[in-house]
Structure 1
């Protein structure tokens, strides 16, 4: 705590506590929901001859998220947060019980009370936004928000960039906004004499402490549909045309209706039928799409990925388009599907039938001639 004690040293009235001083200690400090202070023991070098007042209260910095807090999976957005200091002096007590104070002491008391009223000012505010899980990642580091007198708010919002994971489940995600600032903890005033011009040789010592607060800022990942391919069937043969059957599953939280899937056919595939109607799909349900594809005769036999997108209507009646969903399929060498053998067998069967008919006719004609 040595560095922290150095931060609390008595300073001349012309010096101020800045955010850079706070940055020396804020990373190691615990944070509370209400304003707390660090090391309130009176420093040994802060030796009052007369401490006239003990004042209670201090800064109270509150945060408000500006704009929408609902986002989709995969979004990268900037959160704009407004800070306002609502600090108040909640009370004070006099440490001087003497009724026969001199003019100098009375003047010093009045001056001290004037300085004590500055206790509610939050000096050099530093804000840190922390996410407690991997689904929402805070990409911005500590942000400086300046000094706020009681009743003031930031002219410009404090900004933090966040990224929502593409795999984040729908729901509410609390983010911890940690606030650190300096504030005036106590005042020491001394002087030689009181004149019409004021106190001569007046010295003012200000003892600053570090205040800390924490507030939750929630973001919501919206319910939405999501799709994946769960089954692919079909025999796509080089140089031939065939049917590709693709089963899609709604893996999201929101039902869809009037869903239509479109594929992007690229070499070695071509098609004049690149769309298939899926209809309504509830979460967890599946629907099958059928495409007619022609495979180039020079196609190499291997696995291919065909891109597809699903256009649908969400529960609010808005038209949406899914992320690209890949269809993994394989092309076969020409003739390997057995379709050529099938044709050959068919021809043989026809010939056998024709032969049987011919033999039957011949026997019939021979019988008639014998009867004659």
Structure 2
């Protein structure tokens, strides 16, 4: 098609030369972010009970598939408001179960002090105030939620060793996870424990890191990874003691696995993912191994549609194998003057929500709340104050 020469020339002339004012640069929105660092010193654990862990003997994958739809969010989980916690409530929330390689189980309570509780409440209330102040802008951005979602495989093997993809791992139980320390993997609790028993003996649980090469014809899927055995696992006691419930509490669906040795991969740090840090409309990123019998790492991003203090609803496409994957956001690090990434939630799949006796299903991710941040930090460093989020 013939294009007149004067039109071509016009497109090459700067706007100000054509008698028009240059367009003002669009100011990109930068997420409001509030650093969280507990001031508490090292605490000694109090062992509540000792025993032997119980394990399922039947096929792990089938049992795991059966339990994926049993997550539910009750009234407390659906609460949008920030509430002050008491010292007793905080200590109860921080009780956890730990198992070792030999199946020995310990239920442990973490003593806390008033300084810890005061910081949690002050930070939460400050964040809630900021969240209300920003509510108008969040509502305007909610229209962007239902945009086209990206979901594509990572094809270049070199990217498997490049952050943030290097932190994505595959569990031998069929789930995904995220490396949050040299020897620690964050995942969903039901990837290793179904609320009644552990789905697999810990000595049989392995964490897979994707090799930086493609599989050759005839090779097994497992050969695409190098595997490191688990030596310890940490799970909230409210989860492991919920076996009598038909529906499991989605707000307790998180766990940390310690592996035998450090991997050669870089990890991602965790942070607090409450609504003031990760509001509706915020873009989130999830790399995961979507299919249990596939070595392909799949990356996707979408926006937070809505949520409560405990969970975020999002519209990222995924499959069951992605459950347990880390959900991260990009943030501007003022001190380092560069963009960084923080894990703010754990992808949980679909959960049932009951409100006014009506059931609704949502695609959810479990937010890392201040209390969860403190507990995960203790599991990985031995101190509430060992992490900055």
User: What is the TM-score normalised by the length of structure 2?
Assistant: 0.19
Question: Which has the larger helix fraction?
Answer: 2
Question: Which has the larger strand fraction?
Answer: 1
User: What is the TM-score normalised by the length of structure 1?
Assistant: 0.20
Larger-gyration structure (1/2): 1
